[in-house]
Amino acid sequence: MESHQALLPSPSSSLPSILSSSEAFSKDPDGLLPRKELAVAAHAGETPFRSHPEASGGSPPSQKSENKREKKNIPRFAFQTRSVVDVLDDGYRWRKYGQKAVKNAKFPRSYFRCIHQGCIVKKQIQRLSTDEGLVVTTYEGVHNHPVEKSKESFENILSQMQIYPSFGLPHKDSIISDS
DNA sequence: CGGGTTTGACCCGCGC
DNA sequence: GCGCGGGTCAAACCCG
């Protein structure tokens, strides 16, 4: 794809602090995160992880002996970034495994997965319908392997990262309406 | 040729 | 119990 070399002015002062999804989306502006997300977040970041049915369309496996569902505490981090591109280069390698349009959202949501041995980190990218200039990036899990690229890339994102208080929405004045 | 991306279909969980 | 919504996987296609 294209490079997001569109360097935007840094957030003036204070370094961006990543907040958990529960606080980041205490109030969904566009209904991006349904009550389920909030409920899950309230449960200490519980992830509705499925048991990976190898069966490929056809006969549903009857595997439900042991625990029906593994409850793994996967840390989730959500933040909004302002960029012309949906995918930001954070230095890791991501592979898109799906795209689905969510309700209340004009733009479809993209699902990415980190390609690594033992790295099951997933990334979710959704562009706001009201503000196409804002992109919501949600990280799920943590990488257990160093970044192959320079941290410069990450700093680049930090510069573009815009964290908003849970009780405050970004002012439209700050939003630079492209198009 | 390989890797990565794209689109569709299928499945699960929850709500009503 | 059924329907809606969201999430994931698989196969096919495209690009490098």
Q: Which two tokens stand for residue A27?
A: 């109030």
Going A169 to A174 to A177 to A178, the CA torsion angle's sign is negative
Residue A73 has pLDDT above 80, yes or no: no
Q: Residues A84-132: pLDDT tens digits?
A: 666 677 778 899 999 998 888 888 999 999 988 778 889 998 888 777 7
Distance A107 CA to C10 C1' (A): 24
Q: Which two tokens stand for residue A95?
A: 């592979």
Please give the pLDDT value at position A176: 40
Tell me the mean pLDDT in the region A47-71. Answer: 39
Per-range mean pLDDT, top range of A21-25, A37-41, A44-48, A109-113: A109-113
Distance A154 CA to B3 C1' (A): 24
Please give the pLDDT value at position A118: 78
Closest-approach nucleotide to residue A98, Cα vs C1': C8
Q: Which two tokens stand for residue A121?
A: 């980190």
Distance A100 CA to B7 C1' (A): 10
CATH superfamily, domain at A77-162: WRKY domain (2.20.25.80)
User: pLDDT confidence of A170, banded at 50, 70, 90?
Assistant: very low
CA distances from A154 to A12, A36, A96, A142, A143 (A): 18, 30, 20, 15, 14
Q: Which residue is nearest to nucleotide C8 (CA to C1')?
A: A98
Higher pLDDT, A146 or A14: A146
Q: Helix, strand or coil for residue A111?
A: strand
The predicted model scores a pTM of 0.64
Contact (Cβ atoms closer than 8 angstroms) between residue A126 and residue A136 = yes
Q: What percent of chain A has pLDDT over 70?
A: 37
Residue A40 has pLDDT above 50, yes or no: no
